[in-house]
Amino acid sequence: SVPHGHLAYFLDLHPDLGDFRADAIEGLGKKQKSISPKYFYDERGSKIFNGITEVKEYYPTRTERQIFLDNAKEITGEIGAGVGVFEYGSGSSEKIEWLVKGLKNPAAYVAMDISRDHLIESASVMAEQLSIPVAAICADFHAPIKFPKGVLKDPEHWLGYFPGSTIGNMLPETAVGFLRRASETLGTGAQFLIGVDQVKDKSVLEAAYDDAEGVTAKFNMNLLVRMQRELGAKINIDDFEHYAFYNEQLSRIEMHLRAKQATKIVIDDHEFSFAKDETLHTENSHKFTDEKFSQLVNQTPWHVEKTWTDPQGWFAACLLSN
Ligand code: AVJ
């Protein structure tokens, strides 16, 4: 059993955490070497990511926060009374406070996260800080979820909350699957408030993913550090460099780890050679226009109800209804 302090409930759906060793070996064996960005977020990686959100060039976090704060009245008005808030990825009280404070009689806050420890920790803090029932569900983004019956009073409707443009990490077809699943989870009459990073000048995008302080580089390089430490991989870390560029065709930032010279990575008895300039693809971060995002949403039971943006149009808060 899991200690859950003041939580209304703690539901553990035992998400598949993935197998770093198997996935690294498989990904390094591909023609375009690749690995899932989910492996960025060990304890050190999560700390470095928090650092990214504070660097000058990384506009998404602070722009989204400003959009929420500037439009809180209108957004919460559009959502209405008595909703249950379901956050994809357990948040911090800063990310949720404006919402819970602005909503009329919110019924509950339920956080979902794949990391059990992180979830229990952050949901417990929320339970102390929010004056509404707080529950937690340990699950994967893509898992179908049935809310436990009879624990919390049924909300008027559910509001999904997915800030940060994390949806941009998904390939378009994966995002469609995710949104369909979310509609099933949240039920009919639901809404979904989602942060969506926008297409913009290439130089702004590329600077956001290659900041002068090198925080993003450190975040990316942390994957190699993790492979060394957790998998006993033999890697000459200095042979690699952070590489981020905007792929205009696919409207996405791609992050790679690029070999500065011919080198290799050895894991167990697997040897993976890199030619000079060959890369390990570590992340995609898709950027959207209103039109492209609507096209994606319209392949699911959702439609875009309303969109708020900042004066530069760099980021959008989209409210969906199903
Ligand atoms: C957490 C996925 C939204 O794509 O902007 C930041 C991750 N990667 N800098 C993003 C990230 C490099 C971030 N998301």
Secondary structure, 3-state, 23-41:
HHHHHHCCCCEECCHHHHC
- Residue 173 Cα to ligand 1 midpoint, Å, equals 19
pTM: 0.94
Strands 191-197 and 315-321, bridge-based pairing: antiparallel
Q: How far is the CA of 209 from the centre of ligand 1 (A)?
A: 8
| Residue 70 pLDDT | 98
Specify the pLDDT at position 95: 85
Separation of alpha carbons 45 and 61, rounded Å: 17
Stretches where the chain sits below pLDDT 70 are 1-5
- Cα 97 to Cα 309: distance, rounded to the nearest angstrom: 19
Does the Cβ of 60 fall within 6 Å of ligand 1?
yes
Ligand 1 pocket: which of 57, 285, 314 to mutate (most atoms within 8 A of CB)? 285
Give the residue from 39, 161, 186, 142 showing the smallest Cα distance to 100.
Answer: 161
The model's pLDDT over 138-185, given as tens digits with 9 standing for 90+, comes to 998 888 899 998 888 889 999 999 999 999 999 999 999 999 999 999
| Calculated CA dihedral for residues 43, 46, 51, 57, nearest 10 degrees | 150
Q: Residue 242 pairs with which residues in a beta bridge? A: 257
Ligand 1 atom nearest residue 197's Cα: 5
218 three-class SS:
helix
Note whether 198 and 309 are within 8 A (CB): yes
> For residue 257, what are its two tokens?
């780890």
Pocket lining: 284 vs ligand 1, CB cutoff 6 Å: no
Closest residue to atom 13 of ligand 1, CA basis = 166
Residue 1: per-residue pLDDT: 41
What is the longest distance spanned by two Cα atoms in the chain?
61
Q: Which two tokens stand for residue 266?
A: 């050895």
For ligand 1, mutation pick of 59, 166, 246 (most atoms within 8 Å of CB) = 166
Residue type, 225: V
Closest CA to 196 of 167, 171, 175: 167
